[in-house]
A and B are shown apart, each in its own frame.
Chain A
Amino acid sequence: MNLTIKPGEKLAIVGLNGAGKTTLVKLLCGFLDPTEGRVLLNGEDIRKYNRRDYYDLFSAVFQDFSVLEASVAVNVAQNVDNIDENRVRLCIEKAGLTEKVNSLPAGIDSKIGRQIYEDGVELSGGQTQILMLARALYKDGAVLVLDEPTAALDPIAENDIYHKYSEMTKGKTSLFISHRLASTRFCDRILFLENGEIAEEGTHESLLAWGGGYAKLFEVQSRYYKEGGENNGED
Chain B
Amino acid sequence: MEKTDKLTVMESWKSNLRAWKIWWQMCPGVFISKFVYSVFNAASPYVTIYFSARLLEELAGRRDSEQLMRWIILILAVEAMRKLMGGILSHLTAYEQLSAKKMDDRIYMKKMLQLDYADIDRQYVYDLYSQIIQTENWAGWGMRRSLDIFEKMVCGVIRMLCGIGLSVSLFIQRVPESSTLAGLNHPIFIVVIIVLMLIIALAAPACRNRGNDYWNSYAEEARFGNRYFSFFGFMSGDRKRALDIRMYRQQEKVCSVYMERVNSFGVKSIMAKWARGIMGFWYVASVGVSVILTGIVYLFVCLKAWGGAFGVGSVTQYVGAITNLFQGIAQFIETLGEMRANAGFLKPCYEFFDIPNNMYQGSLTTEKRSDRQYEVEFKDVSFKYPGTDAWALRHVNMKFKVGNRLAVVGMNGSGKTTFIKLLCRLYDPTEGEILLNGIDIRKYKYDDYIDIFSVVFQDFQLMALPLGENVAGGAEYDEEQVKRCLEDAGFDKRLEAMTAGLDTYLYKDIDKEGVEVSGGEAQKIAIARALYKDAPFIILDEPTAALDPIAEAEIYNKFNNIAGDKTAIYISHRLSSCKFCDEIAVFHEGSVIQQGTHEELVAEENGKYYELWNAQAQYYVEKDA
Q: Measuring CB to CB, which residues of chain A are less than 8 angstroms from any residue of chain B?
A: 15-18, 26, 29, 31, 52, 55-56, 58-60, 62, 64-66, 68-70, 74, 78-81, 114-116, 118, 124-127, 135, 139, 151-159, 179, 181-182, 185, 217-218, 220-226, 229-230, 233-234
Contacts and interface: CB of A to CB of B under 8 A. Distances in A.
A181 B619 contact: yes
Nearest to A227: B621
A65 B242 CA distance: 9
5 contacts: A115-B227, A156-B611, A181-B620, A224-B577, A229-B576
Contacts of B240: 64-66
B553 A223 contact: yes
A114 B549 contact: no
Nearest to B560: A234
A66 B241 contact: yes
A230 B580 CA distance: 6
Contacts of B557: 233-234
B550 A233 contact: no
A233 B553 contact: yes
A68 B235 CA distance: 9
Interface string B233-259: 001001011011111111001110110
A127 B247 CA distance: 21
B497 to A, nearest CB: 13
A17 B621 contact: no
Interface in B228-282: 228, 230-232, 235, 238, 240-241, 243-250, 253-255, 257-258
A115 B230 contact: yes
- Residue among B224, B247, B549, B619 with max Cβ neighbours from chain A (10 Å): B247
B365 interface: no
B518 A18 contact: yes
B109 to A, nearest CB: 20
A17 B235 contact: no
Interface in B202-233: 224, 227-228, 230-232
Interface of B: 123, 126-127, 224, 227-228, 230-232, 235, 238, 240-241, 243-250, 253-255, 257-258, 410-413, 458, 518, 520, 545-553, 556-557, 573, 575-580, 611-613, 615-621
A52 B246 contact: yes
A18 B550 CA distance: 12
Contact of A225 (B126, B248, B617): B617
Given A115-B230, A155-B616, A70 B241 contact: no
Contacts of A68: 235, 250, 254-255
Contacts of B520: 17
Contact of B254 (A60, A74, A217): A74
Given A154-B410, A155-B612, A179-B549, A65 B244 contact: yes
